[in-house]
Chains A and B, each alone.
Chain A
């Protein structure tokens, strides 16, 4: 298996299928897209099964010097593995989610989603800085089309804003990458991860990366493109945007900024903490007053991502592992929530919260699923959200109790806006006639929601399946950050180990210790 280019194959299948979709009829295009994404998902599962936890850091590596100045270098570690799994898991569901909703230019639509899948897998497995940048930027093009062609009323504005906002951020990162390549003399990411850049250079490299990744993340105050993009994008577009594209920013933080510029990360962590604190509270409050469901969930995404950034910059094992679990959990849960919105949007063609109410009566299955994902978003124990938030807040507390305090209010506010949303949409009197006429979930919608629910519960009950592959990589990052790590305000003091008293002296007292002997 080691010599088999499974990553290249996973990149090629959606790409080839995308071309096929362009020339296929509507029905055929849907089938091709579903088939290709399912095959890619199966390949992803095979890869996960083959992944050697505790083995070498980089596995499934491939290298071909195709481009002279940089190479087709692929390979994954545990973090990349889990994010690729997230992408390939969500993709077939996205295709299913748009099965009936998309009626015009189906071939082009499916092609764009498949291209998107190739690009997302590519971003996570690229082991060459320039290859990474190409994949990273390439995501703009299909998303521009997805929002612009199949989006809502104000789609053109949203598409522009999405494209230009994220492009402006990324170009600065390109300049930083050029400087890094010149300094280190290589584009190889594993080598760069262990290269010590001069401290004064780190600072501005960090800032340039931050400019790009903070927009992708998105962090307050450069998050304004996200609500627009989400509201206007078609359901599956929102699913993939929230599910995977928002993870690119955090992935960039942990893959590049923290291990490559540890000193600058330590120096400038106050920026991240400060912005995260503002974001958690501010965007949660904004979410509370939204009347548009998608906008509400979009703002909640910004708040969740803020906890991710704070968790990452806690610089300790719990914080980073927690942040990674939030990323995975949010990927599943927010995609599911956007789909839940999509389900009722397809029936009534409005996202106004006030137009609904009482859905529990005529759509009980829907109400249960929606409830589950609402709880997962809030972070109820037993769901995926809890694991991530608990771990990352524990990690943040060690770094700074104030940040932990503020971030925790975000969870309370999160409960407030999500439950408020749920109450208004699902509970109450079923008075509106058009809402009464809405049928419950059909088999296709079951097929999308059931796997998402299963994964959200699995991650909540047994997160070790997801943490185990990533643990070693997190340890590596933490070790890399250790020399630069500032002292937290938690004043952790390890208990002083005391030599056990000689047994003979306190023969009587030893009964205190119960069955220790």
Chain B
């Protein structure tokens, strides 16, 4: 037991750090933004350092319910980094309304996501997922007086609870028919004869997880929640929980259901194609940039699922690379949205208001163009590379029709990305003034760094990414 504790340092640090941040907020008051922000950021940095220190360890702890391995490590680093940035950008957005709950909730959400990414038991899976979700529901309605924010929180909660119910039902079926909640135990049972109960279990579990990654047809909440939630929270929703849920889904599919390829593969293929197509088509008519990015995330999840559908190590490597590039792109894109304020300081979310942005804020427009072309997967931007990896995995796993359908549908997606670029670059200036936002050096730095990385520079990191993602993915095989 004590030996086990030494292996879950990241989780321990997050728990303690989260509690400290909570206390700081409670006793010092919400006005001491600097102090509790710093406490939260340090906690995340320490947790990330602990993950790095544990690199190379491959063990299970607490009677095999949680695994400490490279796969979880990769996902956790990504989650912590995304959470870090989401905490960093918050005070400027909320200005007077910043409260200590925000960093605290994000810390606990990050803890939950870490558990999701490293769980290898249905019970820890559920605990991690709920810890994350409960924090997320509150975060969505963080602006208590804002109607849209409250609505987003409520919507997220109701639909999230429904999904949790489905997931739990699936878990109970799997447990009932296999007699264990342990992933490897379930996998052993799956290798034998399948029965209707097990298949139902698989379907319900995947449906519940599909909700978390907002794969079609479980995506309905995404545009509303993304639109309604405060932008830093939306940035968070679009980045870290996607990583955690995708990592969890990968683990469940490969680890627990691995032998029953025929059962899960067609579900994943359906989710992938439906997400790509609906994510692309649904985005076309959108006038709100946050809603549009919500559809874009649905669309991108579809591409990740193509890698997962391949079910090979190369496919999982593709998923991990995809997650990394996707998180960088999404955070960058949302940070650009955060910079869009009119002369009175009101946030601009309508796409037509972006007209002529390239003349007012050329740097910002160029960065956004990089993010959008990258999301569309147009080379030479780095967004092309993960798409290439997942398609390659699919082709090599004899899923040629899936690859062809996916890649053709990606052209539909390109349409709405280039439509925003059209608005920014080709259209005449709109009436909305977008003055240069002052005092956001952090935001500018993150936007610049991610845009540069996603331009051709990212290609130089391929050898490194390949090694890291290969060692992470190898854990599951």
Contacts and interface: CB of A to CB of B under 8 A. Distances in A.
Given A168-B411, A175-B395, A134 B425 contact: no
Interface in B39-90: none
B425 A160 contact: no
Given A69-B462, A164-B414, A149 B395 contact: no
B359 to A, nearest CB: 8
Interface stretch (B106-114, B138-146, B228-236, B377-385): B377-385
A138 interface: yes
B92 interface: no
A25 to B, nearest CB: 14
Interface in A137-189: 137-138, 140-141, 144-145, 148-149, 155-156, 159-160, 163-164, 167-168, 171-172, 174-175, 178-179, 181-182
Contact of A174 (B358, B362, B407, B419): B407
B422 A172 contact: no
A163 B391 contact: no
A178 B305 CA distance: 18
A178 B395 contact: yes
B462 A156 contact: no
Contact of A168 (B396, B408, B459): B408
Task: Place the interface of chain A in its size category.
Answer: 20 to 34
A68 B392 contact: no
A172 to B, nearest CB: 7
A171 B462 contact: no
Nearest to A105: B359
The secondary-structure label for the interface of chain B is helix
Contacts of B466: 68-69
A140 B378 contact: yes
A66 interface: yes
- Interface core residue of A145, A155, A174 (most chain B CB under 10 Å): A174
B388 interface: yes
A68 B373 CA distance: 23
A178 B419 CA distance: 29
A159 B358 CA distance: 17
Contacts of B379: 133-134, 137-138
Interface string B371-407: 0010000111000100010011001100010011001
Contacts of A140: 378
Contacts of B93: none
A4 interface: no
A148 B426 contact: yes
A141 B374 CA distance: 11
A108 B380 CA distance: 18
B1 interface: no
Nearest to A65: B463
Interface string A453-469: 00000000000000000
Contacts of A178: 388, 391-392, 395-396, 403
B392 to A, nearest CB: 5
B300 interface: no
B94 interface: no
Given A68-B463, A172-B407, A163 B388 contact: no
B403 A149 contact: no
A108 B365 CA distance: 12
A148 B460 contact: no
Nearest to B460: A66
A156 B414 contact: no
Contacts of A174: 388, 391, 407
A144 B424 CA distance: 13
Nearest to B409: A171
Contacts of A66: 459-460, 463
Nearest to B407: A171
A134 B426 contact: no
B410 interface: yes
Nearest to A204: B400
B391 A137 contact: no
B411 A167 contact: yes
Contacts of A172: 404, 407-408
A182 B411 contact: no
A138 B378 CA distance: 7
Closest A-B pairs by Cβ, 8 of them: A68-B463, A134-B379, A138-B380, A171-B407, A68-B462, A148-B426, A67-B462, A178-B395
Given A137-B379, A144-B421, A174-B407, 9 more contacts: A68-B463, A69-B462, A137-B384, A138-B379, A159-B422, A167-B378, A175-B404, A175-B407, A178-B391
